[in-house]
Amino acid sequence: MTTVDATPGGSASTEEAPPVGPLAGDPSIFGLGSFIAGSVTLGLALVGVVPAGVLGAPLAIILAATSLGLLMATAWCAILGQSAVAAVFGIFGTFWLSYAVLVLGLDHNWFAITATAVLATVRLFLLTWLIIIVMLTLSTLRLPSAFTAVFALVDLALLLLLLAYEETSAAGVPSSGLLKAGGSVVLVFAALGAYLFFSASQAGTGGKALPLGPPLMH
């Protein structure tokens, strides 16, 4: 928005007014907070805070807070013209939403998937999202390296979970060791996400952003 003022000599000068309303905000604070909530609850579930096999335990947070929050942040970024950040939040938002749909669908037999095909369905889900997040990691190497580290840890967590379901026992139970390892990695990238959150919050409240590291690609 521009304002036009008269100078002492009578001529008009144009000044750029500071942005107001949503254009003055930073959607990454909200988006990162939503991402952290889902990551913490999933990581804790995987490392054994809830009984093994209780896949629905983190869904209340993942569905109502993380998925919704990330998609709201995506829309906010799109309004601001921040296409790269909108893509990141949108991809992660749909990841968490699809996880919730997968768990609810398997628990309630929404998709008519037979019991013998459940494990293959979970593997398909994990492999698909591993490919997508690796693609996201490689395509965003111009971002500060802290973001690349988060994406790489998400890749590692998905790989460990995929391997856990590849090493399923004869009774249909995935490898508990690999599940817990994957959960630990989830908690690590949640902690790194918290660092990014504090950096954005510092900048958003008038302070100085925390160092995020140089990008791996210029």
Q: Where are the domains of the chain?
A: 26-204
pLDDT tier for residue 18 given thresholds of 50, 70 and 90 = low
Provide the mean pLDDT of the chain: 89
pLDDT greater than 90 at residue 147: yes
Averaged pLDDT for residues 29-55:
92
- Give mean pLDDT, residues 96-111: 94
Task: Specify burial of residue 116 (Cβ count, 10 A radius: 0-12, 13-18, 19+).
Answer: exposed
Percent of the chain with pLDDT over 70: 89
Is 90 exceeded by the pLDDT of residue 7?
A: no
Q: Are 7 and 13 in contact (CB under 8 A)?
A: yes
Cβ atoms of 33 and 198 within 8 Å: the answer is: no
Amino acid occupying residue 69: G
pLDDT at 19 over 60: no
Question: Given a cut of 80, is residue 38 above it in pLDDT?
Answer: yes
What does each C-alpha distance from 58 to 62, 95, 109, 110, 154 come to in angstroms? 6, 14, 19, 19, 17
What is the rounded distance in angstroms from the CA atom of residue 102 to the CA atom of residue 99? 5
* Terminal Cα distance for the chain, rounded: 32
pLDDT tens column, 45-89:
999 998 877 778 899 999 999 999 999 999 999 999 999 999 999
pLDDT at 3: 40
Between CA 35 and CA 30 the distance in angstroms is: 9
Percent of the chain scoring above 90 in pLDDT: 79
Rg of the Cα trace of the chain? 21
Q: What is the pLDDT of residue 54?
A: 79
Structure confidence at residue 13 (pLDDT): 47
| Number of CB atoms found within 10 A of residue 127's CB | 15
